[in-house]
Amino acid sequence: MVIESPVPYSVDKLDNGPITKAQFPCKVGNGFTVSQMNAMAVGEKQSLKFKGSAVHGGGSCQLSVTLDTEPTADSVFKVIKSIEGGCPGVGGPADFDFTLPDSIPNGKASFAWTWFAKLSGAPEMYMNCAPIEVTGGASDDSAFQQLPDMFVANLDETCKSPLNKAVKFPNPGSELQDMGTADLEAPTGEGCGKTGTAPPSTEPGAPTEPKPSAAPSDAPPSAPSGTAPAPAPTTTAGGVFAPGASGAVPTTLATKTSAPVGTGAPAAPPAGTGAPSSGAPSSGTPSTGGSSCSENGAIVCDGPDKFGLCNNGSVVFMPVAAGTTCEAGTVAKRGYNGRIARPRN
């Protein structure tokens, strides 16, 4: 997923992958070309819109602002709204409203959207930034500096968001939209307190990581190295996520009964159109056949090569990930003990 509105920096270089510590903040390697300035008046309703379809079962998002027009690793982002659960959507992308508080000073600044996906296969952080020009705001930044700092996690081992849950922010601020998904869980780690900048290196004697340049780069974004694949997540109703080939998580088997073709609630769009992850879903297209089931969130097998998730009594099938098989309500490795490489697009 990427933001479509506000219009982000460097639209022609925007990618939908998770952000790494070297790319923090805002995928700095893409630069800060102003494709379109987003004029925002304090107190007026603004709209957050997304492009893409791989919502990874939702999760939690924050909207933040820094007064820097070309943010660096030392920039401090202040939270203007937190959305816990169901962001950026569950069955597909949703739109969200927000307003700028009157504490934000007038002038140019940078807006940030951060996302901690629920079913990404491993703890990840996504981030897009956009140029904004504020009117009707404060004459100084004294009140703005009192807003909570943006939550930062999954850039190293000091703070991790929960797997298969929507993160509950340690300090969401006064503007909190609780989507009522009942799947919230606090992050873990000593670095999960008040944050807003990239965490420092925690290895004893390790040199300080150089700050990334704000200038555009032709080199592709670097991917995290040495990260072992995470266990395939369990799922809940409302979103479809193909468990990866790294292992299986036992789950309750739903009772499969026949139903007319094409019935049942539609599954989430197939992965591959949104951000890839270390537990990347299968890129296959869901089966057009549908079935009914008895238990929300349960995995239903349609032979060894297809699976579906029970979603409010219905299930739509799609191919399992390469190297896995569906049997007895579990998607597991197909007799392969080596590591399966998952390319990132």
Give the three-state DSSP class for 36: coil
Q: List pLDDT tens digits, range 74-133.
A: 999 999 999 999 999 998 999 999 999 999 999 999 999 999 999 988 999 999 999 999
Highest average pLDDT, of 184-193, 229-238, 270-279, comes from 184-193
In a domain, 211, yes or no: no
Q: Do both 38 and 180 map to the same domain?
A: yes
Alpha-carbon gap, residue 325 to 306, rounded angstroms: 8
pLDDT surpasses 60 at 226: no
Q: Do both 143 and 23 map to the same domain?
A: yes
pLDDT for the residue 297:
66
Domain final residue pick, 164, 185, 206: 185
Alpha-carbon gap, residue 164 to 58, rounded angstroms: 10
Domain final residue pick, 155, 185, 215: 185
> CA distances (Å), 161 to each of 3, 60, 236, 342, 345, in order?
21, 10, 18, 21, 23
In a domain, 276, yes or no: yes
Q: Do both 173 and 290 map to the same domain?
A: no
Strands, sheet with 107-117, edge to edge from the N-terminal-most edge strand: 38-41, 126-135, 107-117, 59-66, 78-84, 176-178
Q: Do both 176 and 241 map to the same domain?
A: no
Q: Do both 162 and 268 map to the same domain?
A: no
In a domain, 257, yes or no: yes
In a domain, 214, yes or no: no
Alpha-carbon gap, residue 111 to 84, rounded angstroms: 19
Alpha-carbon gap, residue 18 to 273, rounded angstroms: 14
In a domain, 6, yes or no: yes
Q: Do both 15 and 140 map to the same domain?
A: yes
Query: What is the arithmetic mean of pLDDT over 188-194?
Result: 86
Q: Do both 120 and 252 map to the same domain?
A: no
Query: What is the arithmetic mean of pLDDT over 298-308?
Result: 80
Q: Do both 17 and 142 map to the same domain?
A: yes
Q: Which stretch of 56-60, 109-113, 333-337 has the lowest confidence by average pLDDT? A: 333-337
**Structure tokens that stand for 52 in this block:** 């893409």
Lookup result for tokens 């591959």: 272
* Residue 111 belongs to domain with CATH number: 2.70.50.70
In a domain, 220, yes or no: no
Q: Do both 30 and 159 map to the same domain?
A: yes
Q: Do both 164 and 238 map to the same domain?
A: no
Domain final residue pick, 185, 203, 219: 185
Count CB-CB contacts under 10 A for residue 108.
13
Q: Do both 115 and 234 map to the same domain?
A: no
pLDDT for the residue 225:
42
Q: Do both 100 and 165 map to the same domain?
A: yes
* Nearest CA-CA partner of 149 in 177, 112, 200, 204: 112
Alpha-carbon gap, residue 67 to 132, rounded angstroms: 10
Structural domain of residue 85, as residue ranges? Answer: 2-185
Query: What is the arithmetic mean of pLDDT over 332-344?
Result: 51
Would you say the pTM of this structure is higher than 0.85? Answer: no
Share of the chain above pLDDT 70, in %: 66
Number of domains into which the chain is organized: 2
DSSP 44-99: S-EEEEEE-S--TT-EEEEEEEES-SS--TT---EEEEEEESS-SBSSSB--EEE-
Q: Which stretch of 161-175, 306-320, 325-339 has the lowest confidence by average pLDDT? A: 325-339
In a domain, 219, yes or no: no
Highest average pLDDT, of 131-135, 267-271, 302-306, comes from 131-135
In a domain, 280, yes or no: yes
pLDDT surpasses 50 at 240: no
